[in-house]
Structure 1
Amino acid sequence: MSTPDHEQTTPPKTLLDLGPGEGSKVEHIKIESNYLRGTLVEELGQDTSRFSEDQVQLIKFHGMYQQEDRDLRQGRRAAGAEKAYQFMIRSRIPGGALTAEQYLVQDNLSERYGNHTMRITTRQSFQLHGILKGDIHSTIHAINESLLSTLAACGDVNRNVMACPAPVSSRAQAQLQEIAEQLAIHLAPKSKAYHEIWVDGEKIHSTEEPEEDVEPMYGVTYLPRKFKIGVAYPGDNCIDIFTQDIGLVARVENDTLIGFTAVLGGGMGATHGKQETFPRLATPFADLTVDQVLPVSETIITVQRDYGDRTNRRHARMKYVVEECGVDWFRQQVEERLGYQLSDPSEVHFHGIEDHLGWQPQADGNLFLGLPIENGRLRDTETSRLKSGLRAVIEQFQLSVRLTAQQNILLLDIKEEDRSTIEHLLQEYGIETDPTRVGAYRFAMACPALPTCGLAVAEAERVLPALVKQLETNLHALGLGNEEIGIRMTGCPNGCARPYLGDIGFVGRSKDLYNIHLGGDLGYTRLNAVYAQSVNIKDIPAMLQPLFVFWRDERQANEAFGDFCHRVGFEQLREKVAVQTTVG
C-alpha cells in the first residue's frame, strides 16, 4: 500500500474543538440549514435555472448536483447568455438491486426529463443527467413512488451501500443484499426535510409549526465529508472493498454467514499538489458478528463525525483520521463508545475479481445474464440500441436487475426456456451478450468528467474507448491480445472510477494531459503509483508500448501487467524504456 508514512498523532482540530465561527463554509451552511431544508422550497418556486450558491451544497444531500454543459460555455458567454445549467440526479440503490418496475421508471424519467441516457455509477446506482430545474421535483417524486430514493445518494452522509450483486451462491450470499439494505436504512439521515419537499408536498404549504427534527447520529453538522460502505463475498472483490470507509467481508462456513471481517479507512480522493491528500486502502479492523454490523458501523461513523477534519474539506475523509491517528487509536474510540471489546480481524485474501458477465446460473436454478456496458452509459447509438433493447427485454420478461461496481448490468431470474428468446432479442438490438468479444474494454472504466462534471480538468468517458482501442491493437500486435489489463481513467484526481487501483490508471491533470499510474493488481488490493506526469493523451500509446514489450519478454509465468510493473519497479522500467528508445 503506497500511502505516506505518518507517525501516530493526536486528532486535528475537529468538531469537538471548533468554536463559534470556526470551520469551513460548508459546515456553517449545514448548521444554518434547519436540517437540510435551507431555502430549497422557496428557490424551487422561483423561475430560475439554478439554485443559489449555499443551496447548491444542500441539494447534494437530497441526491443531486447542479452542473452545466461546459461544451456550451464559450458560446453562451459570447452571446451574453447564462451558463447551460442542468442537474444530475442520483438514486440510492443498495447493492444495485432493482425490480423491473423500478428500472423502467428510471428509463422513463431519463426520456421524459433527462438527456435520454442512464448512467450506472461505480457505486451501483443510476444517475440521470440533463434534468432541468423545473423538472427536479417531478423526477425525485417519481423515483420515490417507485420505492427508491435519492436521499443520501450524495452529500456528507453515508452514501449508497454496495454489495456483491450476483445471486450465484447460497442463502449466505443473499444475506449480503439484505444487510446492505439494512445499513442504508439505519444510516440514512432522519431529517423530515426530504419527505416534506419531494414526497409529501402538501407539508410545504402547511402553516402548522413543524415537529422538531432530530439527527441522533449525524447531529446538525452531519459528517465532515462523504462516507462509503461496501459488503463483499469471500474471495470476490467485485466491489473494491479496500476503497470503502467501512468494508465488510463476509465470513462463511458451510454456506452459513457467521459474520464479517471489517476493514477501515479506505478512500480514493486526492488533490494535485496537496501532499496531505492521497488515496488509501482500508486497514483490517475487527471481526464482527452479524448482529454487530449495524451498531459497530454507526459507532464508527460517530467517531468520524467527531474527529474528522471540519476545517479542510480536502482532508476531511475518515481515511486521514485512521492514517494519522492509527487504527489502534480508532478502535479504542469505537470500543469505548460501544462498551465492549471487538474481536481481532481475520486475514482477508482476494486473488482476482469476478465481473459476473455472461450467462451464469443462479443459486435458485434460474439464470442471470451479465452484460458489459461501456462506461456504464445506457444509450441508443447507430450500432447498438442498448437502452431500447434492455427496456424491451426487462419489460417483456419482468426481469429483476442488479448494477455492478464495474458499471455493468445483470439481468436476473431468467428461466432456462427463455434463454434463447432473450439472447435473440438482444442481438436484434445489436447488444453483445458474450463478454469475451468485448476485448480490452471489459476491464476498463471511466468517470463522466466533461462536459458536465464541475471538477473535471480533462476528458474521461468520451476519450477512453478510443484510447483503449489503440492500446488493444498494440497488444494484439505483440501477441498479448488475450491478456486481462485493468484500465481506469478519471478527469480529475478525486478518483470516482478508482484509477489508483488499476494495472493502469489515467488521472487528468489539465486539458489532454494525464498522470499515468502503474502497478496495481487485477484483484484491486494494491495501490498503483505515478509513473509519468502530464502526458498528452496522444502520446500515451507510444509511452506504454516499450513497457508492453518489456512485459512480454521478461515477465514470469502468467504474470499480469500490473504485477510485473510492481515487481520490476519503476527505476528498471524507465531504464528499459530509455535503452529501447536509444536503440530505436
Structure 2
Amino acid sequence: MSNDQDAPQPLSANEGIKTASNFLRGTIAEELLDESTGAISEDNQQLTKFHGLYLQDDRDLRKERRQAKLEKAFSFMLRVRLPGGRCTPAQWLVLDQLADERANGSLRLTTRQTFQFHGLLKGNVKPLVQGMHKALLDSIAACGDVNRNVMAPPNPERSAAHGAMYEHAKGISEHLLPSTRAYHEIWLDEEKVAGSAPEEEPIYGKTYLPRKFKIGFAIPPSNDVDVFSQDLGFIGIVENGELVGYNVTMGGGLGMSHGNEATHPRLADVVGFITPDQVNAIGEAVVTTQRDYGDRTNRKHARLKYTIEDRGIDWFKAEVEKRSGITFGPVRDYTFTTIQDPHGWHECADGSWFYGLHILSGRIIDRDDWKMKTALREIAEIHQGDFRLTPTQNLTISGVSADQKAAIEAILAKHGLDKENERSLLRLNAMSCVALPTCGLALAESERVLPEVLEKYEAVFEKAGLASNAISLRMTGCPNGCGRPYLAEIGFVGKGPGRYALYIGAKYNGTRLNRMLAPRVTIDESIELLTPIIERYAKERAEGEEFGDFCDRVILPADATVHTVGGEA
C-alpha cells in the first residue's frame, strides 16, 4: 500500500488559472467593460498581476461602506517596468501628469527601483497604460509569476563599469520578458493577426513560473540592491576600471509567513564567476530550471530559495551549467561595505554631475508645506539628463551639466528640498512598504507610521551620542518582505494593528540576516527594549563596530540561528 505522503499533491489554484488563461488574457478585456463594479473576478486578479496590476481597496473606508451597503472602495495599483530605475525627463512629465489625471495624484518610488501608481479606478487603467506607452513605458511583468523589475546601481555615468552593468541589467530584463501579446491586445488595442502561428512562451511555458522571480546587479563596495535577497544576483567584478564579469548568486528571498516555520528568509549562495557575455544565458538557465523544478503545489514553498534548499545548491548549479553550456569559474574576491545611497552632488567619470535626493518611503506628493511633486516637475521641465530611481526609494537627478547645476539647485532650494539630505543617517537609510490603507496583505501600518517611528528613534540615538552613525531601520506591514526588513539592523514586521515583530542584528552591508528580539511589540515597547541596547552599544562597542554587529555579538542569544550568505549557520 502506498504512503499518502508519496502521492502526487494537487497543483495550487493559480496553476489552473494560468493554464486556462490563454497566455494571460483570461477575460480581462471583457471585465474592464463591466461598469456595475469597480472590481474584477478573483481569477483575473491573478492574471492582471502579470500586466503590472493589483486590485486593492481603501481599507480605511471598509466599515463605512459596509454599513452603507456599498461594495469596497476598489482601485488598482499599477507598477511600471523600469530596469535599473532609469527615467527620462519627458517620461517623468508623462507619469506626473497621469498620476494627477488617472490616479490619486501621487507617485511612489518602490524598493525595486520603479514607480507605482495608486488609486487607479477601473475605467482609468487602460487610458493610463496607453499614456505610458506613448512615452515608451510599460508595466509588462512588473508583477506576477515571472521575472520582475531588474535592479542595478543607479547613475551608470559614474564609471565605465557602472555603464556596462546597466546595459546588462536592461538586456536581461528584455530577454526574460514574456512573449505573449496579451498586454498589447488588452491595453493597447493590438489586433491579433488572423492565421498566425500558435502562441508560445519559449522561456516560461504555458504556466510561467511557480512564483515571482527577482534579479539584482551590484557593484562593490556598494550593496545598495541587497543582492543576496534576490533569486538571482550578479556581483560585478572590476579590474583596472573594467567590468570583467560577475560572481553569480542564487536562491535569495525574504518572504515568510508568521507562524509557519517552513517559510523563512534566505540569503543567496555565491556559486561562481561568469563573463559579461554569459549573463543572459545563465539567467535563462536559472529561470527554466526553476520553471521545471519549483514547487507548483504550495505557493508558500514555490520560490527558488526552497527549490535550492530541497535539491541542494550543488545540484542546482550543475543543472544550470548543463542547460546553459557554461561552466562557472572560481568566485572572485569582492568586498561590500555599504548599502547607503549617495546623497547631494557627485561628479561622474564623464564630467557630468548627479544629485541624490532623499525621499522618505519614496512618496512623491505635494503637501501644504512640502512641494516635492511640483519641484520635481519643474526640474523635469528643464533637465537635460535623466532621473534614476534608487534601491532605497530615493531619487538621483543624473546627467547634470556644470552649467545646469545652479538652476536645479535653485528649484530644490525654492521648495525646501535642499534640506532633505541633512536628515539623520538613520532616516536617510530607512525604508518602508506602503501597507495600510491599500495593501490587502498589511497587518499593521508602515509608510504612514514611519515618520513617527524615526522621530522617536532619532531622539534615542542622539541622546546616546550616535546621531551621526549610519544605521539601517526598515518597516513592513506584513511578513512578505517588500521593504527588505530582515536585512535591517532594526527591522519591524507587522503582526497586527499597532503590533510588530522586532528584529535586530543584521549586518549593515546586507550579508547577514537579522534575528527576532521580540515577537509582538508596540512601537513604544520597542523603544523600551532597544534604548538600553543602544546605550550599551554607545559605551561598549569595539572600534568601528556597527550596530548590527554589536547586537549579533552581544545581545542576541548565542544558540539562535544566524543566517549568513549562502544560508549557512
The 5-angstrom pairing of residues 276-291 of structure 1 reads 276-291=262-277
Which TM-score applies when normalising by structure 2?
A: 0.94
1:34 aligns with 2:22: yes
Q: 1:112 maps to which residue?
A: 101
Deviations along 1:328-365, whole A, 9 cap, x unmatched? 01011112223453223224421222412110012210
What's the % identity of the aligned pairs? Answer: 45
Whether the 8 Å contact between 1:168 and 1:361 is mirrored in structure 2 is no
The 5-angstrom pairing of residues 354-369 of structure 1 reads 354-369=340-355
1:189 aligns with 2:175: no
CA distance 1:108–1:211, change in 2 (3 Å):
farther
Q: 1:297 maps to which residue?
A: 283
Q: 1:570 maps to which residue?
A: 556
Q: 2:88 aligns with which of 85, 90, 99?
A: 99
Return the alpha-carbon distance in structure 1 between the equivalents of residues 237 and 130 of structure 2: 39
Deviations along 1:139-176, whole A, 9 cap, x unmatched? 11111221111000000000001000123532221011
Q: 2:136 maps to which residue?
A: 147
SS at match of 1:127: strand
Whether the 8 Å contact between 2:409 and 2:418 is mirrored in structure 1 is no
Superposed displacement of residue 210, structure 1: 5.6
**Aligned letter for 1:357?**
H
Deviations along 1:421-479, whole A, 9 cap, x unmatched? 22122111121356233553111110000000011000000001111111101211222
Q: 2:567 maps to which residue?
A: none
Q: 2:449 maps to which residue?
A: 463
Q: 1:314 maps to which residue?
A: 300
Return the alpha-carbon distance in structure 2 between the equivalents of residues 247 and 275 of structure 1: 26
Whether the 8 Å contact between 1:440 and 1:469 is mirrored in structure 2 is no
Q: 1:233 maps to which residue?
A: 219
- My pick for the range that moved more, 349-358 or 370-379, is 349-358
1:89 aligns with 2:78: yes
Superposed displacement of residue 234, structure 1: 2.5
SS at match of 1:500: helix
Whether the 8 Å contact between 1:152 and 1:188 is mirrored in structure 2 is yes
Return the alpha-carbon distance in structure 2 between the equivalents of residues 94 and 551 of structure 1: 39
**Unmatched tracts of structure 1, length 5 or more:** 1-11, 575-584
Whether the 8 Å contact between 1:459 and 1:491 is mirrored in structure 2 is yes
1:395 aligns with 2:381: yes
SS at match of 2:413: helix
- My pick for the range that moved more, 218-227 or 391-400, is 391-400
SS at match of 2:246: strand
Deviations along 1:239-289, whole A, 9 cap, x unmatched? 111111111011111111211110110011000011111001110112111
Q: 2:478 aligns with which of 472, 492, 498?
A: 492
Return the alpha-carbon distance in structure 2 between the equivalents of residues 411 and 80 of structure 1: 47
Whether the 8 Å contact between 2:85 and 2:390 is mirrored in structure 1 is yes
The 5-angstrom pairing of residues 133-172 of structure 1 reads 133-167=122-156, 169-172=158-161
Whether the 8 Å contact between 2:271 and 2:328 is mirrored in structure 1 is no
CA distance 1:82–1:434, change in 2 (3 Å):
closer
CA distance 1:330–1:572, change in 2 (3 Å):
closer
Whether the 8 Å contact between 1:358 and 1:433 is mirrored in structure 2 is no
RMSD across aligned C-alpha pairs, in angstroms? 1.8
Return the alpha-carbon distance in structure 2 between the equivalents of residues 454 and 565 of structure 1: 33
Which TM-score applies when normalising by structure 1?
A: 0.92
Return the alpha-carbon distance in structure 1 between the equivalents of residues 125 and 423 of structure 2: 39
CA distance 1:134–1:375, change in 2 (3 Å):
same
SS at match of 1:461: coil
Whether the 8 Å contact between 2:424 and 2:458 is mirrored in structure 1 is no
1:24 aligns with 2:15: no
1:80 aligns with 2:60: no
**Unmatched tracts of structure 2, length 5 or more:** 561-569
Whether the 8 Å contact between 1:565 and 1:573 is mirrored in structure 2 is no
Whether the 8 Å contact between 1:61 and 1:154 is mirrored in structure 2 is yes
Return the alpha-carbon distance in structure 1 between the equivalents of residues 558 and 298 of structure 2: 38
Deviations along 1:304-346, whole A, 9 cap, x unmatched? 0011110110111001111222110101111222345322322
Q: 1:582 maps to which residue?
A: none
Return the alpha-carbon distance in structure 2 between the equivalents of residues 563 and 90 of structure 1: 35
Q: 1:478 aligns with which of 459, 464, 470?
A: 464
Superposed displacement of residue 383, structure 1: 2.1
The 5-angstrom pairing of residues 123-522 of structure 1 reads 123-167=112-156, 169-199=158-188, 201-203=189-191, 208=194, 211-432=197-418, 435-522=421-508
The aligned length equals 555
- My pick for the range that moved more, 38-47 or 342-351, is 342-351
SS at match of 1:162: coil
- My pick for the range that moved more, 433-442 or 242-251, is 433-442
**Aligned letter for 2:11?**
G
Superposed displacement of residue 95, structure 1: 0.1
